[in-house]
Amino acid sequence: MGEIDFTDFGEMAEDSLWCGLSKEAHRGNMSLCLELAERGRGRVSPNPMVGAVLVRDGVVLAEGWHAYFGGAHAERMLFESLGDAGDYSDCILYVSLEPCAHFGKTPPCANLILEKGVGAVVIGVLDPNPMVSGRGAALLSAAGVAVLEGVLEAECQQLNGSFWVNQILGRTAVVAKWAETGDGFIGRIERTTTRPSSSENRLNAHNDQVVQNGRVLISGKEAGLWVHNLRAGVDAILVGVNTWNLDKPTLNVRGIEVSKQPIRIVLDQRLRGDYSAESVDRSDAPLWVIYDLNLLDGDEAMCARELQFLSLSEASISGKLVGWGLELTELGSASGHGDLSNTVEIILQWLYEAQGLGVILVEGGASILQSFLDVDCVDDIHILRNSQMHLGTGIKSPNLDRVILRRGQDLGADEHWVWHRKIGGDSIEAEGGDRAK
């Protein structure tokens, strides 16, 4: 790849112009690209969300975005909306991600931009995909197109944090979320597995805590709505087998329209979960059960291997249940003893490379969350903290260095503490307001 000849937005003086427009105008057009890119959330993974606008004399002529996985890239959608003819030599094309230079499921966008004769291109951030990373920008500038790079760069990268994890770390990205009480518990230790008889929810007679399926509800309504938004943007939701059996979670998106429900994944190394038709049918989404063939005894392993796991459950009729018997020791793990910490990374690589999952949400329980944290395989943390509630005893919330957390916007009565992995910089940074105490 040759030297890329482009203007670095960060190095431009605040009052300078580029192609006749101010820095503020460039930021405004790029933020429109970011809004358009959002339209692909939950639909394009493991591809990035990308938005593009074409501007002439400061006026937006056309818009495009990457709408679904395997579909047209943002730039192609934009030009398709304009039809065949047109002289764009006096136009600026804004794209939140560097135009691609490779033949993937679609031909290179950089070539299309050259064919269309666009005079100038403004890029949010360079593509971390090794097949692109700078080649798209180089191709354009080598052909005489003016290129400006780095407009709202941090925002453009942050929009696709999981894509950076996929491309640079070679695994599915992980979002961890839990709700905790003011005294640092995520639930009680003693839990019943029977549902309350009169209604789904009831008030615990002793301390007025709302209980559902024997589980104390910690976070409130606003946080609940927010969680469904979070779920809507991931490819799968993963829980451990104890959470699956005890909490009986639905693991689906409610109250928001989604093109498809996230896949449900249960990490159940010894195949101890309840996969009866009733439990599998709690959602329309597929249910994947990951187990370790090395940990099953002879009969169980025979069942899993020969009967393809599906016939272990009546639910096979629905076709939703899929079992994945990973032979984790053979995959290079020192596991074989059920030690999850050794296998987390292998599972995440497999979920990305073999299954094409861009991002999963890990919802619990505490030991599963801790296993992911311990091997540094969590890329976003969201803690919903009800500081008014105190349990005194129970299941401790996962252990982590709280100094990295920043306080985000409160969700109703709940505090929202966040951390995001920043890849590519020298430091780990987080967003939000106040530092954790």
Partner whose binding site includes residue 268, from ligand AOF, Zn ion, none (CB under 5 to 8 Å by kind): none
Q: Looking at 109, 156, 175, 251, which residue binds Zn ion (CB under 5 A)?
A: 109
Nearer to Zn ion (CB atom), residue 26 or residue 73? 73
User: How near is the Cβ of 73 to Zn ion at its closest, in Å?
Assistant: 3
Q: Does 332 engage in binding with ligand AOF (CB under 6 A)?
A: no
Q: Does 123 engage in binding with Zn ion (CB under 5 A)?
A: no
Q: Does 48 engage in binding with ligand AOF (CB under 6 A)?
A: yes
Q: Looking at 7, 32, 42, 73, which residue binds ligand AOF (CB under 6 A)?
A: 73
Q: Does 47 engage in binding with ligand AOF (CB under 6 A)?
A: yes
Q: Does 147 engage in binding with ligand AOF (CB under 6 A)?
A: no
CA separation for the pair 60, 54 (Å, rounded): 6
Q: Does 66 engage in binding with Zn ion (CB under 5 A)?
A: no
Partner whose binding site includes residue 161, from ligand AOF, Zn ion, none (CB under 5 to 8 Å by kind): none
User: How near is the Cβ of 423 to ligand AOF at its closest, in Å?
Assistant: 15
- What are the backbone angles phi and psi of residue 385, rounded to the nearest 5°? -115, 120
Nearer to Zn ion (CB atom), residue 110 or residue 241? 110
Q: Does 32 engage in binding with ligand AOF (CB under 6 A)?
A: no
**Binding residue count for ligand AOF, defined by CB under 6 A:** 17
Site for ligand AOF in 337-396 (CB under 6 A): none
Q: Does 132 engage in binding with ligand AOF (CB under 6 A)?
A: yes
User: How near is the Cβ of 78 to ligand AOF at its closest, in Å?
Assistant: 9
Map the chain to HEC letters: CCCCCCEEHHHCCCCCEECCEEHHHHHHHHHHHHHHHHHHCCCCCCCCCCEEEEEECCEEEEEEECCCCCCCCHHHHHHHHHCCCCCCCCEEEEEEECCCCCCCCCCCHHHHHHHHCCCEEEEEECCCCCCCCCHHHHHHHHCCCEEEECCCHHHHHHHCHHHHHHHHHCCCEEEEEEEEECCCEEECCCCCCCCCCCCCEEECCCCCCEEECCEECCCCHHHHHHHHHHHHCCCEEEEEHHHHHHHCCCCCCCCCCCCCCCEEEEECCCCCCCCCHHHHCCCCCCEEEEEEHHHCCHHHHHHHHHCCCHHHCHHHHHCCEEEEEECCCCCCCCCCCCCHHHCHHHHHHHHHHCCCCCEEEEEECHHHHHHHHHCCCCCEEEEEEECCCCCCCCEECCCCCHHHCEECCCECCEEEEEEECCCCCCCCCCCCCCECC
Site for Zn ion in 81-100 (CB under 5 A): 100
Stretch that binds ligand AOF, among 105-113, 234-242, 268-276, 379-387 (CB under 6 A): 105-113
Partner whose binding site includes residue 370, from Zn ion, ligand AOF, none (CB under 5 to 8 Å by kind): none
Nearer to ligand AOF (CB atom), residue 105 or residue 390? 105
Residue nearest to ligand AOF (CB): 104
Q: Looking at 21, 63, 72, 73, which residue binds Zn ion (CB under 5 A)?
A: 73
Q: Is 353 a catalytic residue?
A: no
Q: Which residues lie closer than 8 Å to 11 by C-beta, 6 or more apart?
A: none
Burial (CB < 10 A; 0-12, 13-18, 19+), residue 411, is buried
Partner whose binding site includes residue 220, from Zn ion, ligand AOF, none (CB under 5 to 8 Å by kind): none
Site for ligand AOF in 229-258 (CB under 6 A): none
Catalytic residue among 63, 75, 363, 415: 75
CA separation for the pair 192, 181 (Å, rounded): 20
Q: Does 129 engage in binding with ligand AOF (CB under 6 A)?
A: yes
User: How near is the Cβ of 58 to ligand AOF at its closest, in Å?
Assistant: 24
Q: Does 100 engage in binding with ligand AOF (CB under 6 A)?
A: yes
Q: Does 160 engage in binding with ligand AOF (CB under 6 A)?
A: no
Q: Which residues are catalytic?
A: 75
Return residues touching ligand AOF (CB under 6 A): 47-48, 50, 66, 73-75, 97, 99-100, 104-106, 109, 127, 129, 132
Catalog residues that contact Zn ion under the rule CB under 5 A.
73, 100, 109
